[in-house]
Amino acid sequence: MRLPQTGGCHCGRLRYEITQAPHMIYTCHCTDCQHFTSSAFSIAMLVDAQAFHLTGVEPRAMLHTADSGRNLTRWVCPECGSWICNGAKPGSVNPNAFRAVRGTLDDTSWLRPTAHFWTRSKHPWVVLPDERSYVFETQPDDIFAFFNSVVAKARGAIA
Ligand SMILES: [Zn+2]
Ligand SMILES: [Zn+2]
């Protein structure tokens, strides 16, 4: 995998670059992701917020309250509706934050998810890989603590 990796929305008006290998790649099989993507699951890459650089048109915020009561913001292309990322407004996050970038890279051939969330609503025909991975029937109570522990582990392996 070469850096930077580039990606963007379907119509091409919104583009981005990732300047760091993702800490983790995960799938989400929750019913929100299934509806929002009109597919079986969504894919996301966890990167440091400062390693994600958006260019082109301003993304549009789609606000949603999950069943858990959590407020979610999805950032989409205002023209074609492609889902680009979640969280605080791109460019406005604190430097220690992570960004979950959705699976919209130009080259997705190297993506290998190692965590799978909300498998209780997974389509029955989706078979998860045998490789060692994190599998959650729902999601960790504190997903940010989980992300932090994965990142700390990844950094420890490099150091
Ligand atoms: Zn677009
Ligand atoms: Zn989901």
Centre of ligand 1 to C-alpha 155, Å, is: 34
What sign has the CA pseudo-torsion 128, 132, 136, 140?
negative
Instruction: Identify the residue whose tokens are 């960004």.
Output: 99
Q: How many CA atoms lie within 13 A of 59 on its CB side?
A: 26
Q: How far is CA 45 from the centre of its chain?
A: 4
Residue spans of the domains in the chain: they are 5-158
In this predicted structure, the answer to whether residue 159 has a pLDDT above a threshold of 60 is no
Model confidence pLDDT, tens digit, residues 99-124: 899 989 999 999 999 999 999 999 99
Centre of ligand 1 to C-alpha 123, Å, is: 28
Assign a CATH topology to domain 5-158: glutathione-dependent formaldehyde- activating enzyme (gfa) (3.90.1590)
Centre of ligand 2 to C-alpha 46, Å, is: 14
Centre of ligand 2 to C-alpha 34, Å, is: 7
In this predicted structure, the answer to whether residue 16 has a pLDDT above a threshold of 70 is yes
Centre of ligand 2 to C-alpha 28, Å, is: 4
Centre of ligand 2 to C-alpha 159, Å, is: 32
pLDDT of residue 88: 81
Q: What 3-state class would DSSP assign to 47?
A: strand
Q: Cα(81)–Cα(5) distance, rounded to whole angstroms? A: 21
Centre of ligand 1 to C-alpha 11, Å, is: 4
Q: What percent of the chain has pLDDT over 90?
A: 67
Model confidence pLDDT, tens digit, residues 50-79: 899 999 999 999 998 876 777 889 999 999
**22: CB partners within 8 A, 6+ apart:** 45, 46, 47, 101
- The mean pLDDT value of the chain amounts to 90
CB atoms near residue 156 (< 10 Å)? 8
